[in-house]
A and B are shown apart, each in its own frame.
Chain A
Amino acid sequence: MLFRVDPSSNTPLGDQIAACVRGAVADGSVRAGERLPAARDVAESLGVNMHTVLRGYQSLRAEGLIELRRGRGAVVVAGATPGRARLVEHALALVAEARSLGLSDDEVVTVVRTSLSGGI
């Protein structure tokens, strides 16, 4: 698992950390069932705050890619296939694009819903 972050970037560090894990799942270098390094260790290694790392891990949990268990740390869940991780990446790219166009959240959801119903 390779973490690369740029503290001078505008992207929050937690998001950058989540993106590293997502990318690693997407390219197959981290597989389902694998345990991620403990948040404390990642924080110490990168020289960032532990809560920053935990924030990144929490968004990965919300995306359904990892599981956070007390005492066992962060584990990549069985359903976290490379395809699933890439899908999350596409969704984030969609949101970023919509934001740069000035779309509201409702408008983004409408776009997705329309493509869902149109796709069937």
Chain B
Amino acid sequence: MAPASPTPVSHNPPKQSNPLYWRRLLLASLTAPVVGAADVGVYLRLRDRLPGRLATHIGSGGAADGFSGHGGFLTTALVLILGIGLLFGAIVHWVRAASGLQRGMTAVGCALYVFIGSIFAALLLANADVDDPASVNMSGWQVGIPVLITAAAGGLGWLVAGAEPAPAPADSPPPARAVRLSLAKGEVASWSRPVGSRVLPLVGLATVVAGVVVGSTVGWGGVAVPLLLGGVPVALLTGARVTVDRRGLIVAPKVLPRPRLTIPLERMVEATHREVDAMRDFGGWGYRVTGGASGVILRSGDAVSVRLTNGTEFAVTVDDAATAAALLNSLADRERTPGA
């Protein structure tokens, strides 16, 4: 008998099947220069009314405590906005295999450019017609309006980025070569298995401990809170339970009911299992999105791999993935075979 050849996993970039890809990429990367140009416009309009040195930082009391020249101020604003524009352009391209995430990233990018842009504009307005920049102060509404504009920009970005139309549900059963698990008529099946990572909970715990140590020694003002905010989800979300049943493939955190990822059966063309190398195939651990695939990769090794109707792969690493894949194929058979 010839040795079983490994399932050929496509190494060609999958065809760009996301119809909103270009719209979102343009939205994420062109909004930044537009916002930057708007800031320059505001500056040019106000230039004659601005003091020689601008108040550029407003302390917690509402009074200016940081200053710079015109050129430095504009350069900082443009570098920041355009830099973040490049970053989010790259992110939106990078997460193209996960349409919902891509939409969210487009909206977050738009909101971020507009937030930074409007804060710079508000600073310029606060500097207008003052003789001494040290007397510049900003009141609540001068910060509140940028926040409102930001929320509006995020919402608008979300709407323009658009929801991908639901792909046509798979209408034919998985191919004959796919492995199945025989189910009797009327039999209900559910497969479930926990998957953990040895590394990530320790990383999360170490981050939390570092946060507590820094907070109690240096103070809670600096990096302590970000450390805690970063460490807690890492520690809590790195154990998952993978379930396969009539609803499809479900990945949920072990200790919390949400967030939960569900791939319904009608989005699956075929399920297989394969060996995943976390670093080589997905560039790391966690919820990963790469060019043609997304997945919950908590370790290297055996993984359920599902080919989706939109041409991408969804993978989740879990032991006994072969049983899970076989059950998915059988459930898909049942759903797509009338009268079964």
List the interface of chain A (C-beta within 8 A of B).
Answer: 1-8, 29, 34-35, 37, 41-42, 45-48
A41 and B243 within 8 A (CB):
yes
List the interface of chain B (C-beta within 8 A of A).
Answer: 183-184, 186-194, 241, 243, 245-247, 320, 323, 327
Contacts A3-B191, A29-B320, A41-B192; A46 near B245 (Cβ below 8 A): yes
> How many A-B contacts if CB must be within 8 Å?
48
Contacts A37-B241, A41-B241, A46-B245; A1 near B188 (Cβ below 8 A): no
20 A-B residue pairings within 8 Å (CB atoms): A1-B191, A2-B189, A2-B323, A3-B189, A3-B192, A4-B183, A4-B187, A4-B188, A5-B189, A6-B186, A6-B187, A7-B186, A35-B194, A37-B241, A41-B192, A41-B241, A41-B243, A42-B190, A45-B190, A47-B188
8 nearest interchain CB pairs? Answer: A45-B190, A45-B245, A37-B192, A3-B190, A4-B189, A2-B191, A6-B187, A46-B190
B246 and A47 within 8 A (CB):
yes
On chain A, the residues within 8 Å of B194 by CB distance are 34-35
On chain A, the residues within 8 Å of B246 by CB distance are 47
On chain A, the residues within 8 Å of B327 by CB distance are 2
Residue A1 contacts which of B183, B184, B186, B193 (CB distance < 8 angstroms)? B193
CB distance from A37 to the nearest CB of B (A): 4
On chain A, the residues within 8 Å of B241 by CB distance are 37, 41
On chain A, the residues within 8 Å of B245 by CB distance are 45-46
On chain A, the residues within 8 Å of B191 by CB distance are 1-3
C-alpha spacing A97/B192, complex, angstroms: 32
Contacts A37-B243, A45-B243; A5 near B188 (Cβ below 8 A): yes
C-alpha spacing A47/B190, complex, angstroms: 10
On chain B, the residues within 8 Å of A7 by CB distance are 186, 188
Return the chain A residue nearest B191 by Cβ.
A2
On chain B, the residues within 8 Å of A4 by CB distance are 183, 187-189
C-alpha spacing A42/B191, complex, angstroms: 9
C-alpha spacing A7/B186, complex, angstroms: 7
CB distance from B318 to the nearest CB of A (A): 11
A45 and B192 within 8 A (CB):
yes
C-alpha spacing A13/B189, complex, angstroms: 12
A6 and B323 within 8 A (CB):
no
On chain B, the residues within 8 Å of A37 by CB distance are 192, 241, 243
